[in-house]
Amino acid sequence: MSDVPAGLETLDFSFSGGRPAGAFAPVLVGVVGSGNLEVMLEPADGNDCAVRVETSARGFGPIWQAVMDDFHARHPLAGVRVSINDMGATPAVVSLRLDQAVAEIDGGQP
C-alpha cells in the first residue's frame, strides 16, 4: 500500500511580475478525464500569476513546481489566475494545455 492518502491534492503556486495580460474573457481548454486535465485562465487583480492545481496524482508537488516554473519562464504573465483540474496528465500534456490557454488570451498567438 502507498503512504500517499487517497483523494485530490491541492497545490498553490504564485509568480510575481511579468507582462500584464490585460482584460480578457475567461479561457477554458482541455477536458477532465482519465489521463487528462482542464486549464482555466481568468483575469485577476494585481501583478501576480496565481496557480491552483487540483490533482488526483498525489505526491508530485516537485514535478508540478518544475512544470509551473517552466510555464512562467515561457509566459511571464501578470494579473492572471490559473486553475488546473488534473486527472493524471503528463507534464507534456500540462504544458500543451497551458500554451493553448495562453494562445487564446493572446488572440491565437502562442
Residue 48 has what pLDDT? 94
What residues of the chain score a pLDDT lower than 70? 1-6, 107-110
Is the separation of the CB atoms in 82 and 98 below 8 Å?
Answer: yes
CA distances to 13, 56, 61 from 10, in Å: 10, 9, 9
All domains of the chain in start order, with CATH? 9-105 (3.30.230)
Q: What is the pTM of this model?
A: 0.88
Residue 39 has what pLDDT? 97
Torsion angles phi and psi, residue 70, rounded to 5: -65, -45
Residue 2 has what pLDDT? 56
